[in-house]
């Protein structure tokens, strides 16, 4: 038995030596480079590709099946002269015996200078779609043979998949690879160059260290990026589960989307894809782009259908204006240059391939805080949905700043008003009547982003504890608006204003070439002085009182000037418990009465203002000029009637006002200003003309009208004397009826 065992051992050793010797002979005596033509033909017949081998082939047989290719390329049989892949060197080796157990045990795999060119022609056909396909059949026989071949191999193929191949690779290294994709139909092209990839040992079910880098570019829009990726990859093909742990992506990009600015970006977290459960997740998400920093998590489900997104996102406070500037999308200049300096948010995410919603949103913008919901229900339709509630918001800070041209126009008008105001004296009213203003009060700056509004699908429901708009502090403000197809409807804008209330409704129609606007307003008992402040100037308003106003107005255009020039409609107004500030109508009236009495005032004015109980009227607006035919005011002891125009284009007024003296109710009137019975009911004429900001300071006695009043009063005095003489002469000699008839005869 010992001899038999010894003989068996010697036999096995001899067999092994023979195998080694055979392997040595094959690898040293057999040169595959001598059979390149046969290898190329084999590639045509079996793999249906055109293989070009310009470099040497190196190989080993046992115990490693080694292969090393140099200067090789592959093309489809349809276009053998247009290779879609070529490489400088491919080196790999596989253990022979494990292959029998369907195990792939490889040493280091190296790929040098891989160049992969993918192209889609104008018909949409990709060059990779012909890989592995034979040339079209030349006759029926060959067609039958080619059709039968796959069918005969089907059982073997099916059986070969019964047990998955086990991978065991020491490492994978790819150096200086390049991938190019072009689409002739769209003109788009994408490329990844200088691709570097290295891994640690590749074992299924174990973490695989991975590092990669590349330079990526696109043509439309033109963009370039440098990227680096690192982490540990784990996969289980049987469970269809893939993990990318400690993933770290970083790099920088620039191009047309960023206005040529360089954006530095980074992302990290734990990625999981479970194809068996059709879910994916990104936990421990950290993202940064220049100044922007964000944390959160993302989850996807229903990967086999329409994926559903959920998760959360938190963005740390950052300077939005500086960030947008750094990525090539600067914000337009605003009234407050410091606006958008601080932004942070926390939200819950819900989304689909066509929509995204920010639920339970909490936002801090500068000094304001908002909560609610923001959603884009359809990306293609730009269907925006807003449901927000804010504490305080100063909208004036975020409105576009005036252009230099608009500032110049405003300055010119302010100078004109200042000049008129300097010559207008509110005392005796002896200065000349101010001229009507000529400087336009409104800007030509564009107001509406027409193209965006035409494409907008909007539903907005906003509420503010305090909203500042056009310097007006609106409390408990509510705004509801909808927009679709170029028609934006303001369903309501309401709130409390200086202890009064207001509400506005309107439409903005940008479907025509020139935008059309319509607005209805209802203001109840709001102090009127807050509406007539001079821009950029702190001064006492000309009128004070509680304004009630209803209006129905329309206009066309896309600037303040165009809208005012085309303003049409009607309005009704009333001002209660009011005061004409720094306008001593009392003094002017007393001066008129003293003139009629042929006396001189002996007392100084008792006040600088003129109070009134009510001022009301109606307006008919035509192309920016508001006609007021029925101005009426009630002042203690006086009644004021008037008519005139308000030129809204230059904010000027031109009024004829009549003041009816009803009697002086003061306890100690000026003797020269006493109203006797002859003057009761007499209408004293005033003319008011000039900038609207001057108010009653632009009013003067109408000398022509005053002369007519004097003539009328003189006629009344003559009538009184005739009546006295008749009474004296006739006495009781005639009847009262005859006496009245004689008086009427002289009064004709």
How many residues in the chain? 748
Q: Is residue 499 part of a domain?
A: no
pLDDT exceeds cutoff 90 at 553: yes
Query: Does residue 603 lie within any of the structural domains?
Result: no
Count of the separate structural domains present in the chain: 1
Whole-angstrom Cα distance, residue 588 to residue 429? 7
Give the model's pLDDT for residue 426.
43
pLDDT (0 to 100) of residue 602: 65
pLDDT in tens, 449-463: 898 888 889 999 999
Q: Which has the minimum average pLDDT: 13-17, 203-207, 453-457, 668-672?
A: 13-17
Whole-number Å distance between alpha carbons of 239 and 275: 8
Please give the residue that has the higher pLDDT: either 429 or 522: 522
d(CA 352, CA 538): 53
Q: Over 60: is that where the pLDDT of 513 sits?
A: yes
The CA–CA distances, whole Å, from 274 to 107, 230, 235, 351, 412 equal 29, 21, 10, 19, 70
**173 and 198 Cβ atoms separated by less than 8 Å:** yes
Continuous H helices in 77-139: 96-99
> pLDDT > 70: what percent of the chain?
72
Q: How many CB atoms lie within 10 A of CB 57?
A: 17
pLDDT tens-digit map of 362-402: 999 999 999 999 999 999 888 999 999 999 999 999 988 87
pLDDT at 741 > cutoff 50:
no
- CA–CA separation, 465 vs 467, rounded Å? 7
Residue 61 lies in a domain: yes
Is 367 contained in some domain?
no
Model pLDDT, residue 70? 87
Pairing of strands 103-112, 166-183: parallel
172-204: per-residue pLDDT in tens? 899 999 999 999 988 899 999 999 999 998 888
- Does the residue 613 lie in any domain? no
Q: Do the strands 457-469 and 383-394 form a parallel or antiparallel pair, or are they unpaired?
A: parallel
Tokens 């009063």 belong to which residue? 713
Please report the pLDDT score of residue 168 as a whole number: 77
pLDDT value of position 155: 45
Between residues 513 and 633, which one has the greater pLDDT? 513
pLDDT of amino acid 165: 61
Q: Compute the distance between CA of residue 418 and CA of residue 1 in angstroms, rounded to an integer.
A: 131
For the chain, the average pLDDT equals 80
**CB contact set of 269 (below 8 Å; sequence gap of 6+):** 247, 282, 283, 284, 285, 286, 297
Q: Considering only 41-45, 60-64, 132-136, 639-643, which range has the smallest mean pLDDT? A: 60-64
pTM: 0.76
The region of weakest confidence among 342-346, 540-544, 701-705 is 701-705
Residue scoring higher pLDDT (507 or 433): 507
Given a cut of 50, whether residue 10 has pLDDT beyond it is: no
Residue 632 has pLDDT above 60, yes or no: yes
- Whether residue 479 is contained in a domain is answered as no
Is the distance from CB of 388 to CB of 372 less than 8 angstroms? yes
Considering the domain boundaries, does residue 356 fall inside one? Answer: no
The whole-angstrom separation of Cα 112 and Cα 105 is: 21
Share of the chain above pLDDT 90, in %: 42
Kindly state whether residue 546 falls inside one of the protein's structural domains: no
How high is the pLDDT of residue 716? 55
Residue keyed to tokens 């998590």: 297
Print the domain residue range for 50: 33-125+168-202
Residue 687, pLDDT score: 85
Please say whether the beta carbons of 549 and 531 come within 8 A: no
By the 8 A CB rule, do 522 and 502 touch?
A: yes
In sequence order, the 6+-apart residues with CB closer than 8 A to the CB of 98 are 104, 105, 168
Question: For residue 612, is pLDDT > 90?
Answer: no
Q: What are the backbone dihedrals phi and psi of residue 93, each rounded to the nearest 5 degrees, phi first?
A: -145, 140
pLDDT on residue 44: 81
Q: Please give the pLDDT value at position 449.
A: 87
Q: Could you report the per-residue pLDDT of 576-585, keeping only the tens digit for each?
A: 988 877 766 6
pLDDT at residue 5 in the model: 47
CA–CA distance, 283 with 356 (Å, rounded to integer): 19
């Amino acid at each position: 038995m010992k001899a038999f065992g010894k003989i068996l051992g010697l036999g096995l050793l001899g067999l092994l030596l023979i195998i080694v010797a055979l392997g040595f002979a094959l690898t040293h005596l057999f040169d595959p480079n001598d059979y390149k033509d046969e290898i190329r033909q084999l590639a045509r017949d079996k793999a249906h590709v055109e293989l070009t081998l310009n470099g040497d082939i190196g190989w080993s047989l046992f115990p490693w099946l080694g292969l090393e290719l140099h200067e090789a390329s592959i093309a489809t049989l349809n276009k053998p002269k247009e290779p879609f892949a070529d490489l400088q060197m491919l080196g790999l080796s596989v253990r022979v015996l494990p292959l029998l157990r369907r195990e792939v045990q490889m040493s280091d795999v190296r790929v040098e200078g891989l160049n992969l060119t993918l192209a889609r022609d104008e018909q949409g056909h990709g060059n990779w779609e012909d890989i592995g396909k034979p040339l079209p059949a030349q006759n029926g026989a060959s067609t039958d043979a080619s059709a039968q071949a796959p069918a005969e191999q089907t059982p073997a193929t099916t059986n070969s998949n019964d047990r998955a191949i086990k991978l065991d690779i020491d490492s994978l290294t790819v150096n200086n690879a390049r991938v190019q994709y072009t689409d002739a139909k769209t003109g788009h092209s994408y490329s990844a160059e200088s691709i570097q990839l290295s891994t640690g040992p590749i074992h299924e079910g174990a973490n695989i260290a991975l590092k990669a880098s590349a330079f990526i570019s696109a043509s439309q829009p033109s963009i370039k990026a440098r990227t680096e990726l690192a982490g540990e990859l784990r996969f289980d093909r049987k469970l269809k589960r893939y993990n990318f742990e400690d993933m770290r992506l970083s790099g920088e990009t620039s191009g047309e989307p960023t206005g040529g600015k360089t954006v530095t970006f980074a992302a990290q977290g734990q990625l999981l894809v479970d194809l068996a459960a059709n879910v994916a997740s990104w936990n421990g998400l950290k993202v940064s782009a220049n100044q922007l920093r964000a944390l959160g998590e993302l989850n996807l489900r229903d990967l086999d259908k329409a994926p559903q997104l959920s998760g959360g996102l938190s963005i740390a406070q950052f300077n939005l204006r500086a960030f947008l500037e750094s990525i090539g999308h600067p914000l337009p200049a605003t009234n407050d240059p410091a606006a958008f300096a601080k932004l942070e948010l926390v939200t819950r995410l819900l989304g689909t391939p066509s929509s995204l919603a920010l639920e339970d949103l909490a936002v801090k913008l500068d000094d304001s805080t908002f909560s609610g919901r923001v959603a884009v229900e359809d990306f293609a339709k730009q269907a925006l949905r807003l449901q927000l509630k804010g504490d305080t918001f100063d909208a004036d800070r975020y409105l576009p700043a005036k252009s230099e041209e608009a500032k110049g126009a405003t300055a010119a008008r302010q100078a004109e008003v200042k000049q008129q105001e300097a010559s207008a004296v509110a005392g005796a009213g002896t200065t000349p009547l101010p001229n009507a203003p000529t400087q336009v009060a409104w800007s030509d700056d564009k107001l509406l982003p027409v193209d965006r509004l035409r494409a907008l699908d909007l539903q907005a429901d906003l509420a503010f504890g305090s909203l500042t708009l056009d310097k007006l502090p609106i409390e408990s403000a509510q705004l509801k608006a909808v927009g679709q197809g170029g028609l934006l409807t303001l369903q309501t804008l309401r709130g409390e204003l200086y202890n009064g209330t207001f509400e506005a409704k309107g439409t903005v129609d940008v479907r025509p070439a020139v935008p059309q606007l319509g607005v209805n307003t209802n203001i109840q008992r709001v102090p009127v002085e807050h509406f007539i402040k001079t821009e950029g100037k702190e001064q006492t308003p000309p009128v004070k009182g509680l304004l009630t106003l209803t209006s129905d107005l329309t206009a066309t255009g896309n600037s303040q000037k165009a809208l005012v020039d085309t303003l049409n409609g009607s309005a009704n107004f009333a001002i209660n418990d009011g005061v004409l500030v720094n306008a001593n109508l009392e003094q002017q009236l007393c001066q008129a009465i003293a003139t009629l009495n042929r006396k001189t005032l002996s007392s100084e004015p008792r006040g600088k203002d003129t109070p009134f109980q009510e001022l009301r009227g109606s307006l008919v607006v035509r192309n920016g000029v508001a006609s007021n035919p029925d101005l009426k005011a009630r002042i203690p002891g006086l009644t004021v009637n008037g008519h005139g125009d308000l030129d809204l284009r230059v904010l000027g007024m031109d009024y004829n006002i009549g003041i009816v003296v009803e009697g002086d109710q003061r306890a100690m009137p000026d003797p020269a200003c006493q109203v006797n019975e002859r003057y009761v009911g007499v209408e004293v004429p005033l003319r008011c003309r000039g900038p609207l900001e001057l108010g009653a300071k632009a009013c003067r006695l109408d000398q022509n009208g005053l002369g007519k009043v004097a003539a009328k009063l003189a006629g009344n005095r003559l009538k009184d004397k005739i009546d006295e003489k008749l009474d004296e002469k006739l006495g009781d000699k005639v009847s009262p009826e005859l006496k009245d008839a004689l008086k009427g005869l002289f009064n004709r």
